[in-house]
Structure 1
Amino acid sequence: MVLQVQEGLLTTSSPRVLVATAVPAERDAVARALTGDRISVIAVGVGPAAAAAATATALARTPYDLVVSAGIAGGFQPEAPVGSLVVADEITVADLGAETSDGFLPVTELGFGTVTHRPPAALVRALATATGARPGTVLTVSTVTGTAARAAELRARHPRALAEAMEGFGVAEAAVAHGVPVLELRAVSNPVGPRDRAAWRIGDALAALTEGFGKCAPVLESWNPYDQ
């Protein structure tokens, strides 16, 4: 609950939550699970830049207490099988930096920027308990992984990575700029690695996303940011 002062009285209300998905199909999957008016869902576009711009615009127009990046994702096997849910305890951008003769250097090792945002730990635990989602690192990439070599490289650099998607870090950057906590919840639609569209289970992942939000909505609506 969020504490408010109205006419000298201390009152409580449910927090306002903004859920940012990439595309309308993900937005609709989340919306199907929601019954109240305290959680808003928007489609912000594909990729971190579009996600950051649209999320920042939404936050500038309406005050929110929490932002959630949500949608489907590729899962690193075998930890995040197709159809499962993952919740980020770290939202990390995987390809912001420089390629060198010694390998990839994240932007932080170049002396500026940030590469990781950490959601509220208590809320991550609560969502994992409510939904059965596995907590871990969710990577944000600008180019989706399409080879086994690339998947192995990412896992070597990020051994706790469970999934990769394209918007979480952009949503997180916008949220942090507005002083709002951020989460990321993903349903796995395909393995990270060689592109095999016959193995993708987008419909199953969208159904898992709906089911997951049905279970986590009460947690989000009762969350008190002042308890963190």
Structure 2
Amino acid sequence: MAFDFNHFIELMPDINQAFFQTIYMIGISLIIAIVIGLPIGVLLYVTDKELFWENRTVQNILGFIVNMVRSIPFIILLVALIPMTKALVGTTIGPTAASVSLSVAAIPFFARIVETALREIDKGVIEAAIAAGATPWMIIKDVLLLEAKSGIISGITLTLISLIGFSAMAGTVGGGGIGDLAIRFGYYRYDNTIMIATVVILIVLVQVIQLLGDFISKAVDKR
């Protein structure tokens, strides 16, 4: 497997475009995952038994939906959501279209991470807040999210890295980004230079995100 540096320079405009398409896809998907997945994760926790919003019906329904979506391999989810993607964004190809499937995959993934982070909180802290007369909303905002912020940031990091892997798979159906470039040039045209370049870019991107996420998580961890 040879790497042609001159060929790499020629393909730099395509590589730059693919890179920013990937950033665009995972950026949109991460924001949607946080906005929707965070409340779902909180609900999964606070509706469990012996907590202030205990509701087994809500807990079971939410848990079933989250588990169902998470159990579907992303490549199958990508194809299954084509009608919904077409209805929402008017097309089934490109980074915006790929963001729909990425968001659907990321929401339940992040929700479970949030729930897990909340379960690590000492219930004595919650009981003390209830005894002090705190409302459920105050407990969620000032106790649960505050105490679990380090775990939630680690969860955001993990979700972001997973989205990078998912976005590469989106390239198989014309989703754009690094994965699409690797498929069209690297695989179909047997271009080793593109294959090596895309793999290196993804490795570096994941490493940078992981290091930055770990740094922020440790910085906000007051334990």
TM-score (norm: length of structure 1) = 0.30
Q: TM-score scaled by structure 2?
A: 0.31
Q: Which has the higher helix share?
A: 2
Over alpha carbons, which structure has the higher Rg?
A: 2
